[in-house]
Amino acid sequence: MHSFRHDWALDEVEALFGLPLSELMHRAQCVHRAHFDPTRIELATLLSVKTGGCAEDCGYCAQSAHHRTGLQATKLMAVEAIVDEARRARDAGATRFCMGAAWRSPKDRDLDQMCAAIAEVKQLGLETCATLGMLTADQAGQLRAAGLDYYNHNIDTSPEHYASVIGTRSFGERLATLDHVRNSGMAVCCGGILGMGERRSDRASMLRVLANLPAHPESVPINMLIPIEGTPLADAPKLDPFELVRTIATARIVMPASVLRLSAGRETMSDELQALCFLAGANSIFVGARLLTTPNPTRDRDDDLLARLGVQPAADASGLRPA
């Protein structure tokens, strides 16, 4: 059993960010290789099972009812339709199937329908993940009983920058949902978004919060903001790509055994930037044409890149570990 730190000070995390890039990458690679096979990557698929009309005002999100993005709200997909999509994802090589619904929190009838879908997706042999908004302890228990492996609930950014992005839900409420998920026995998927006008100190603070949780999230998605017309962050200044690499490398050092997912924004990233992110410790990506409502690289492009890098998909998350 490994003993990981949960007592990082902000200045320690900031010091990692500030290292010369070659030194930061070297340290991250050493940590990565101690816990993972660097030639393996997890492929996950994300499906929007209920799109738009969300009561939250998250400044980055096209699905918020507060923003005029032209997105048409939909009802929750039927169980059979969700399972059909999961089967296609499995047959295309995905090992984890993530289901996202644009809710502040799920209603009981919606949760019953999601639990039925989760149970059937689990029967396909896929790892299951869902992101449905805030949960009560009872709701987290229901999802776990249905067979949900992972629950995603991102903290999005630092506690200090949070109110600049979201006004309808507090940072503390996000942490409360994470507690309910952890206490239910589900694995935690929790990360954030870069490029929302935050400073480097905010990126360090976000990672510090995640690393200082009682247990590190098993999965940490790192997203690059996709500016969407009609949202408050549509004109956010573009982030230096090296800041993405530094964030992933620092995350790898402070959360050594967490799976780091290079998530939203890959569609506009060069192959070289993605390769740097993998060298920094990212070892999971979403595959498929869309991520909820935003574009994602084609599968052909992903397969070509991974082949050129000599990276193989893992059969499941355990396949990422060293032999």
Enzyme catalytic residues: 54, 58, 61, 98, 129, 189, 261
User: What is the residue-wise DSSP string for 103-114?
Assistant: -SS--HHHHHHH
Question: What phi and psi values does residue 313 have, to the nearest 5 degrees?
Answer: -65, 140
Residue in the structure block whose two tokens are 């032999």? 323
As a whole number of angstroms, the distance between CA 147 and CA 164 comes to 36
Residue at 74: amino acid letter = T
CB 231, CB 61: distance < 8 Å: yes
Residues 6+ positions from 164 with CB-CB distance below 8 Å: 59, 196, 197
| Count of C-beta atoms within a 10 Å radius of residue 107 | 11
As a whole number of angstroms, the distance between CA 122 and CA 299 comes to 23
The number of residues in the chain equals 323
Question: What phi and psi values does residue 73 have, to the nearest 5 degrees?
Answer: -70, 145
User: What is the residue-wise DSSP string for 189-254?
Assistant: E--EEE-SS--HHHHHHHHHHHHTSSS--SEEEEEE----TTSTTTTPPPPPHHHHHHHHHHHHHH
Beta strands in 31-135 (DSSP E): 40-50, 96-101, 127-131
Question: DSSP 3-state helix, strand, coil percentages of the chain (rounded to 5)?
Answer: 40, 15, 40
Going by C-alpha positions, the residue among 224, 256, 207 that lies closest to residue 27 is 256
